[in-house]
Amino acid sequence: MNLFSRSLKSILLWLLVPALLLTMLTALGLSNKDLRKQITVAYDRSLVGALNSLNHNISTQSGGLSLEQPYTLLEFYELTANANVFFKIAADDGLSVIGNADLPMPDMALESGKAYFFDTDYLGEPVRSVVMAREAVPPLYGDNSVRIIIQVAEGIEGRESFINRMLWRSVWRDLLLITVVMVIVIVGIVFAVRPLERLRHEMRSRTINDLRAVSTDGMPKEVMPLVNAINVHMQRYTEQADRQRQFLDDASHQLKTPLSVLKMQLDYALRESDPQELREVLLSMNEGVDRAIRMTSQMLALARVRDSLDTQVWQQSVSVDLGELVNGLVRDLWPVIRERRIDLEVIRPETPLCVLGVSWLLQEALRNVLDNAIRYCPRDGKVAVSLDRLNATTAQVVVEDSGPGMTEEDRQKAGTRFRRGKAGKHLPGAGLGLAIVTTILQMHQGHMLLEPGQALKGLRVRLVFTLSSGQ
């Protein structure tokens, strides 16, 4: 099973508990090893103390080897060490020996004045021995080359018993500590993931339409970014769902009447036998279809523009030349301009005017303004498009026509969805064009101004944009 497919609690427990247990057991082993070493050093120091006591009581004044009160010293040491103690004092030539003559010696050369420790067996029991060689002062037998060998051995049974007791006491203490730490870690992990468990239960218990923000009460700081991201996503989803509902409501409301009218006209045409009357009905139906097509196109355009607010469309932002957009729109709309015999004038600046934005959105805004000017302008009318710089940071696109214009009331309410001015009551359209333009300009930090025409006496539309940096 993939580790990361499990719950966060199980991941933490499976990762932390074994690692912590292994670390603490390793530390326990190391501490016990160190404890054994320290106890051994303490016993060895006592053994050296006994050896030094014997050394201070050795005499060679008579020319031979003698020792004062050795057994009294060793009895005292035996009481302290709680073990059998053996000693040997001998000349390194083997001619003089005091104490346990058969006490084993180490298989190594002894340096004078240095103590050597080694383990061996004596009288059927393991012993720990310390041995040291020193110069005889005055010399033995008058020979300066003969050294004195001093050796003390201690049975290690008592020492091992003490070491084992101390080790087990340390082990039980450390095991108790490990158990307490394990319990604390497990309980801590369980309590730490409780907010996530609460979040999971809360989200699973919600209905499909419950898009309320998740409460952050009691959430740890590390979980707050996740909860905030969930809330932001749910807010976006709510807004998207609201727009979809609005689109469906608008579509059902705006398309219901035209489709009903078309159905009535179709029923009438099927019953009509007069060719002229039938032609008039078909022409009326054609106009109705044109209105429905334009309404649908504008509704889809508005929905697409609003959807771009919450998508990654702004990653497509580039520097867009407004003059090039106008040129492209004039080419696209030229068949309509020529069919209506519109006198179109386009005034471009000497230097390009560029704004930072999404090309197709800006093109949609300019298309709606220019298309309105062409449609509302009478046949053989005039439309003027000009681009100019207002100051160092802003520029404008002005579209003016020789049409009927708009009243003050219509200009104030322009941009409201499905609202059409008096001049457009009998023309195809859905009342969404200026709403689309307003939304796109707000997205590009621009604005739209509607004014009475100056040169052409119709409607003057000014689209004000913020220029790209470096313009």
- Assign residue 239 the CATH number of its domain: 1.10.287.130
Judgement on whether residues 287 and 330 belong to the same structural domain of the protein = no
Helix, strand, coil abundance in the chain, percent, nearest 5: 55, 20, 25
Residues of the chain with pLDDT under 50: 1-4, 418, 422-430
Judgement on whether residues 304 and 335 belong to the same structural domain of the protein = no
Which amino acid appears at position 95 of this protein? L
Domain end, chosen from 164, 181, 214, is at 164
SS3 19: helix
In a domain, 12, yes or no: no
Q: Tokens 């059902």 appear where?
A: 252
Judgement on whether residues 409 and 297 belong to the same structural domain of the protein = no
pLDDT score of 1: 45
- Assign residue 93 the CATH number of its domain: 3.30.450
Query: What would the two tokens of residue 358 be?
Result: 């999404």
In a domain, 195, yes or no: no
Judgement on whether residues 341 and 455 belong to the same structural domain of the protein = yes
Domain end, chosen from 257, 283, 308, is at 308
pLDDT score of 418: 45
Judgement on whether residues 318 and 288 belong to the same structural domain of the protein = no
- Assign residue 364 the CATH number of its domain: 3.30.565.10
Going by the DSSP 8-state scheme, the letter that residue 223 receives in this structure is T
Tens digits of residue pLDDT in 284-315: 777 777 767 766 766 666 666 666 655 555 56
Judgement on whether residues 345 and 447 belong to the same structural domain of the protein = yes
Judgement on whether residues 415 and 303 belong to the same structural domain of the protein = no
In a domain, 190, yes or no: no
Judgement on whether residues 423 and 458 belong to the same structural domain of the protein = yes
In a domain, 16, yes or no: no
In a domain, 171, yes or no: no
pLDDT score of 149: 92
Q: Which domain holds residue 255?
A: 224-308
Residue 358: C-alpha distances to residues 305, 313, 392 (Å):
11, 8, 22
In a domain, 84, yes or no: yes
pLDDT score of 169: 84
Domain end, chosen from 113, 138, 164, is at 164
Judgement on whether residues 276 and 389 belong to the same structural domain of the protein = no
**CA-based angle 65:105:82, to the nearest 5?**
85
Tens digits of residue pLDDT in 114-136: 999 999 999 888 999 999 999 88
Strand segments (E) across 266-393? 318-321, 343-347, 354-357, 382-389
Judgement on whether residues 281 and 331 belong to the same structural domain of the protein = no
Q: State the greatest distance between any 2 C-alpha atoms of the chain, in Å, as a whole number.
A: 163
In a domain, 21, yes or no: no
In a domain, 258, yes or no: yes
Q: What length does the chain have?
A: 471
Is this prediction's pTM over 0.85? no
Judgement on whether residues 301 and 258 belong to the same structural domain of the protein = yes
The total number of structural domains that make up the chain? 3
Judgement on whether residues 337 and 437 belong to the same structural domain of the protein = yes
Q: Would you call the peptide bond into 138 cis, given omega within 30 degrees of 0 as the criterion?
A: yes
